[in-house]
Structures are given as C-alpha cells and as structure tokens.
Amino acid sequence: MEEKLRFFFDKEGDVLDISIGDPKSALSKELDDDIIIRVNDNEKIVGITILNFQKRFKENLIPEEIPIKADFIMAE
C-alpha cells in the first residue's frame, strides 16, 4: 500500500515531524541527539521527528546521514 509523507513543522516548539501515511500508534526510539523515529509493532518506521530543527541548521548540527533506508517513487 502506498503512503504519503506528511510534514508538520511546529515553529514555536522548533520541531519537524514527518509521518509516513496517517498518524499511527508507535514506539519512539532516539537515533541521535534530538532525532527520533517512530516504529510500529513490526518495527516498521512510521515517522521521524527532529527536535530543535531550525536551531540545528543554524549551528550546522544536522547529521549528513540518518541511518534510514527509503524507496521513493512518483505517485501517478
């Protein structure tokens, strides 16, 4: 089943949230300082949250890579 990426940025909280499809119940796991993935019961990633998003860009703290593999295709 194809699912769309959904982006939400909370400017006041400086949080970027990316959901894969509709929001789902999930367990959060911290990958790196302020980078959190959300996984379902099958350990499938259903979302990514980056705390202090704008601050990280200003201070060049965004990692060059986040250890997540993704396949992207153009929706028809």
Q: What is the pLDDT along the chain (76 residues), one digit of tens a residue?
A: 577 888 999 999 999 999 988 878 899 999 888 889 999 998 888 999 999 988 877 766 666 566 666 665 555 5
pLDDT of res. 67: 64
Domain boundaries, the chain: 5-58
Joined tokens for residue 59 = 């201070």
Residue spans of beta strands (DSSP E) within 1-72: 5-10, 15-20, 27-32, 35-39, 45-51
pLDDT of residue 25: 86
> Own/partner pairs for 54-61, CB < 8 Å, 24+ apart?
54/11, 54/14, 55/14, 61/33
Quote the pTM value: 0.73
pLDDT at 32: 80
- Quick one: pLDDT at residue 38? 92
The whole-angstrom separation of Cα 31 and Cα 18 is 15
